[in-house]
């Protein structure tokens, strides 16, 4: 029973955090993004090995982001 209570507390805490982030126009991005800085194309991957495999042989300037917080593109 304690494990179920812990899951409920985690869920409520997560909801509170997500609501607070939304108020600040931020969202949690759990994907890895790979962006070409020259042509501004962006590709998304679920893990680093897939992102690195994609980049093999690519030319140009590329930027990799880790999962984390980012500002949403929502207008106020």
**Tens of pLDDT, residues 9-20:** 767 887 888 788
Is 45 part of any domain? yes
Residues in CB range of 68: below 8 A, 6 or more apart: 28, 29
Is 62 part of any domain? yes
Domain that holds residue 63: 2-71
Query: pLDDT tier at 1 (50, 70, 90 boundaries)?
Result: low
- Give me Rg for the CA atoms of the chain: 17
Query: pLDDT tier at 29 (50, 70, 90 boundaries)?
Result: confident
Q: Exposed/middle/buried for 56, CB within 10 Å: 0-12, 13-18, 19+?
A: exposed
Q: Looking only at Cα atoms, what is the longest distance across the chain? A: 55
Is 76 part of any domain? no
Query: pLDDT tier at 7 (50, 70, 90 boundaries)?
Result: low
Q: Looking at residue 18, what is its pLDDT? A: 79
Residues in CB range of 66: below 8 A, 6 or more apart: 32
Domain count, the chain: 1
Which tens digits make up the pLDDT trace of 45-69? Answer: 999 899 999 999 999 999 988 777 6
């Amino acid at each position: 029973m304690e494990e179920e209570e812990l899951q409920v507390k985690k869920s409520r805490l997560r909801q509170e955090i997500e609501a607070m982030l939304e108020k600040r126009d931020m969202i949690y991005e759990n994907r890895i993004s790979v962006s070409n800085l020259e042509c501004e194309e962006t590709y998304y991957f679920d893990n680093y090995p897939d992102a690195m495999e994609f980049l093999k042989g690519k030319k140009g300037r590329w930027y990799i982001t880790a999962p984390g917080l980012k500002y949403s593109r929502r207008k106020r």
